[in-house]
Structures are given as structure tokens and as C-alpha cells.
């Protein structure tokens, strides 16, 4: 493409604006599609499918498919312990060097973790599992700090429910495919066999995880994205310093909307560790494989349903938030009560019970697990939708997502640590129950603060506009970000 010095401006997607004639060069259909928020969210979802999706597929079999949960729980606790510090660090780096580069880093550490489970399953090597926990913690810190910001920040405000559902739904596709593979490899095992899944299960899953890296190179940086109205997010790396971004993340965490979310970030997924122990203690190998598959289906349904529901125009955003949170509280408390009765029944059984799909009483114990998996994913989507309902610009969303991931990691680190300490399953369940109850008051306060439109903190900090004013204009971009793009 030729240039004419100051007479024209070259736009990233190939359009040219003449300073005197205002002539434009058409952007091809392929460029619009490749640079669209939808395409980028799909790519992020596919990357999430190959990385945490496969990780979830393994962990939802109970203890990564192992016979006992304690070594894997220790490794997972190590992973999330690293993420407590890694998520804010990579959130800051994403605004410094770019979310795409940080996401590429995030694709490098999951496969070693899955490989360590294979080696442990086949040869009994334990140190590699802990090493895999370290690599997974570093990679997850980078991936988690960047993928959520892309899913929430690349598109228009009106599409955030849909895009969040696509992103998390594709992540669950990883669990569905991984679980289907496990199911096919383990379905023929004896109904009374508890034990561990076959080591061949891991080989296919490791191969899938290796696809994450090449997929990450297909992403567009924010400033090259073309939204439906022809605008692009501003390049978040311009003029950024590490010190300034550290100050911003600390200031963001002190905002009422963020620090009141801390209890639910720490406490709402504590039952994940318990469910892993529950599956290894009371279910056969093939029932665990079925549990992983069914949990993936339940989570995918949650993503599709809530992605549609959050974008409904018949409710205001404040009303949607209240309806969803009230529903979650009632259903979660009821599910915990159901699970306590199951744990009491199975824990006191003598001889020790092994649940399998061709044995009586299987449905009761299995259905409660599926219900909790569905509600966990629903809460996951709810938290990200809430964050997207408060903040508009991608710089703030990147930092906000890193805060979300940090405190999620605090909760997961402690809960997996308790799981590794060999406490009785009932104690683990009661702690999870209590932690969820602890989240209710603060989260309820946040729900009543949800605005009709998110704010753009970049404009607020630039001065000349209040938070109320920027909230009223919502997603409109600055005039210098407008593109002259012709279909």
C-alpha cells in the first residue's frame, strides 16, 4: 500500500483515510470477519477448550483420574497458589505488552501438567505432578488474565452475555470431548472398579492441549479489531508503565464494586475440591467418566442459557442481576442440603459403597453432583457478567479480570490444600457450605449496585466527565477511534 506522508492515514485493517479528500479504501469481507469480535472470541474459546477445558475434563473424573485424590489436590493447590500472585502480574503485563502476547504465554504450561498425570498414572512418578502444577500455575495466570478481558472487552456492551457464553461454552467443549474420550476408554470396566482411569486416556488429551499455541497466533490485538459499528478498542499498551498499572490495579481493587466481590470469588467454588473427593470415594471408574461427561453437558447448558438470558432486552441490567442472584442462592442452598444428606448416607455405609449406573440408588448420588456442577458454572458466568456490567474499557476490564482470577485462586488454593490434607469428606463439604453462606451478604450488596450501563474509567480519569455521565453514553468510543470502513 502506498502512502502520501501527511496526506493520508493508514488504518490497521487496511482502510485509508485521505486527510483532504476523505476517500476510503474498502475493507474486504474476509478482513471484517477475521478482525471481528465474534471471530476473536471464538478463537479464545477454542484456546480455552484446549487448555483449562481439558484440565477440567481430567479433574472432573475425580483427582485427575487417579486412584487417590491427595497428590493431585496438592498439585492443584500449588497451581492456584502461584496464580494468586501471577494473575495480577500478568494482568499488568497484558496492558504493558499486549493481551495477545500474554495469552500466547498462557498456552505453554497445561500440557506438561497433563503429561505429569500420565507419567504418574503409568509409572508412579510423583515429583513430576508437582512440577506440572507449577507450569500450569504460570500458564493459567497468563491465560486467565487475558482471555476474560478479550471476551468482555472486544465486543459491544449489548453482546457481552452472548460472548461470555461462547467463550465459556467452548471451554466446556474441551471437557465434553475429553470426557467422551475417557468414557469410550473406560466404559467397559467392571462396575465395582473404583481405581484409576487407563493411562491411554491422557495421550489423546495431551495432543489436544498442544493445539492451543498455534490457535493463539490467530488472535487480533485490540486496536485491529473491527466492531459492527466500525470502531475499535483503543490500544491498551500505549503510554503504559509498570508502576502506573500497579497503581491502577490497586485503585480498582479499592472500588466498592470489586472488594465486595471478594467473598464470592474466594468462596463460591470450594465445593469443586469436595466433588473430586466425592467421585473418587463413592463412584466406579466408568461412573466417574460418565460424571465428567455429564458435568460438561450441564456446564455447557449453563453457558448457553445464561449467555442468552443476560442479553435479554425485556429486563434492565439491575433487574437481571437481582433475578439471577436470588435464584442462585435458593438453588445452591438447596443443593448443599441435598449433598449433605448424600454424604451422610454414603459415608456411614458398611461395607463401603461403590455407585455405578447399573446399581440401585445411583441416580440420587449422581444427580446432586451434576446439579452442583451446573450451579458452579452458572456462578462463574454471573461473576464475569457482573464485572462486564460495571466497566467498559478494555484496560480496566483486563485489570478487573486479573483481580477476579487472583481471588478465585486464593479460594481454590485453600480448598485444594484442605483436600490434600485428608480431612473427612463431610468436613470438606460443610466448610464449602459455610463458605457459600459467607458470600451471600456482600454479593447481594454488589447486585444492588449494578448500573444500567457500564462506566468507562479511562474517560473518568481523563477528567471532564463524571461516572454517571460516562455510564449514560455507554459503549460509544472516542471520535479519534472511529474508522472509515466501507462494506
Q: Which one has a higher pLDDT value, 68 or 472? A: 68
Question: Tens of pLDDT along 88-113?
Answer: 899 888 888 888 999 999 999 999 98
pLDDT at 465 over 70: no
* Domains in the chain: ranges and CATH: 9-224+241-451 (1.20.1250.20)
* Dihedral over alpha carbons 107, 110, 114, 117 (to 10 degrees): 160
If you average pLDDT over residues 445-467, what whole number do you get?
Answer: 72
Q: Residues of the chain with pLDDT > 90: what percent? A: 21
Question: Tens of pLDDT along 419-455?
Answer: 777 788 898 899 889 989 999 999 999 999 998 888 7
Question: Tens of pLDDT along 251-306?
Answer: 888 899 899 999 998 887 788 888 888 888 888 878 887 887 888 888 888 888 88
Nearby residues of 445 by Cβ (< 8 Å), 6 or more positions away: 260
If you average pLDDT over residues 21-25, what whole number do you get?
Answer: 43
Tally of CA atoms within 13 A in the half-sphere of 256 that contains its CB:
8
If you average pLDDT over residues 375-385, what whole number do you get?
Answer: 89
- Is 324:318 a contact under the CB 8 Å cutoff? no
Cis? peptide before 269, omega within 30° of 0: no
Cell of 167: 467463550
What's the pTM? 0.71
If you average pLDDT over residues 78-86, what whole number do you get?
Answer: 89
Amino acid at each position: 500500500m502506498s502512502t502520501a506522508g501527511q496526506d493520508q492515514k493508514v488504518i490497521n485493517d487496511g482502510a485509508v483515510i485521505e486527510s483532504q479528500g476523505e476517500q476510503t479504501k474498502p475493507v474486504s469481507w474476509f478482513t471484517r470477519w477475521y478482525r471481528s469480535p465474534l471471530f476473536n472470541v471464538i478463537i479464545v474459546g477454542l484456546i480455552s477448550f484446549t487448555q483449562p477445558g481439558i484440565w477440567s475434563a481430567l479433574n472432573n473424573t475425580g483427582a485427575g483420574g487417579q486412584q487417590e485424590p491427595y497428590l493431585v489436590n496438592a498439585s492443584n493447590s500449588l497451581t492456584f497458589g502461584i496464580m494468586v500472585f501471577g494473575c495480577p502480574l500478568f494482568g499488568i503485563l497484558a496492558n504493558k505488552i499486549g493481551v495477545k502476547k500474554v495469552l500466547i504465554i498462557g498456552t505453554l504450561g497445561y500440557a506438561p501438567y497433563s503429561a505429569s498425570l500420565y507419567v504418574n498414572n503409568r509409572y508412579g512418578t510423583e515429583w513430576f505432578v508437582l512440577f506440572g502444577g507449577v507450569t500450569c500455575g504460570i500458564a493459567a495466570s497468563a491465560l486467565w488474565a487475558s482471555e476474560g478481558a478479550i471476551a468482555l472487552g472486544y465486543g459491544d456492551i449489548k453482546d457481552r452475555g452472548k460472548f461470555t457464553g461462547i467463550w465459556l461454552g467452548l471451554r466446556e467443549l474441551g471437557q465434553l470431548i475429553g470426557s467422551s474420550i475417557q468414557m469410550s476408554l473406560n466404559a467397559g470396566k467392571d462396575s465395582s472398579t473404583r481405581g484409576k482411569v487407563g493411562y491411554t486416556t491422557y495421550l489423546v488429551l495431551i495432543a489436544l492441549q498442544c493445539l492451543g499455541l498455534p490457535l493463539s497466533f490467530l488472535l487480533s490485538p485490540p486496536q485491529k479489531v473491527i466492531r459492527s459499528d466500525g470502531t475499535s478498542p483503543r490500544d491498551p499498551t500505549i503510554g503504559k508503565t509498570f508502576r502506573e498499572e500497579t497503581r491502577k490495579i490497586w485503585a480498582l481493587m479499592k472500588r466498592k464494586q470489586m472488594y465486595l466481590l471478594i467473598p464470592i470469588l474466594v468462596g463460591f467454588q470450594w465445593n469443586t475440591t469436595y466433588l473430586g473427593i466425592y467421585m473418587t470415594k463413592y463412584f466406579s471408574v466408568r461412573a466417574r467418566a460418565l460424571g465428567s461427561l455429564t458435568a460438561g453437558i450441564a456446564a455447557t447448558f449453563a453457558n448457553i442459557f445464561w449467555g442468552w438470558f443476560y442479553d435479554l432486552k425485556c429486563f434492565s441490567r439491575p433487574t437481571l442481576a437481582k433475578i439471577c442472584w436470588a435464584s442462585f442462592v435458593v438453588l445452591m442452598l438447596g443443593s448443599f442440603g441435598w449433598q449433605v444428606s448424600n454424604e451422610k448416607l454414603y459415608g456411614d455405609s458398611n461395607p463401603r459403597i461403590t455407585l455405578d449406573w447399573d446399581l440401585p440408588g445411583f441416580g440420587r448420588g449422581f444427580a446432586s453432583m451434576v446439579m452442583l456442577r451446573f450451579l458452579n458454572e452458572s456462578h462463574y458466568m454471573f461473576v464475569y457478567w457482573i464485572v462486564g456490567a460495571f466497566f467498559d474499557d478494555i484496560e480496566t476490564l483486563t485489570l478487573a479480570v486479573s483481580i477476579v482470577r487472583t481471588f478465585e485462586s486464593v479460594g481454590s488454593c485453600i480448598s485444594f490444600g484442605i483436600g490434600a490434607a485428608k480431612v473427612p469428606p463431610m468436613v470438606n463439604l460443610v466448610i464449602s457450605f459455610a463458605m457459600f453462606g459467607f458470600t451471600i451478604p456482600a454479593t447481594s450488596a454488589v447486585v444492588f449496585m449494578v448500573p444500567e450501563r457500564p462506566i468507562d474509567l479511562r474517560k473518568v480519569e481523563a477528567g471532564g466527565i463524571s461516572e454517571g455521565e460516562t455510564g449514560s453514553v455507554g459503549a460509544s468510543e472516542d471520535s479519534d477511534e472511529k474508522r472509515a470502513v466501507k462494506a
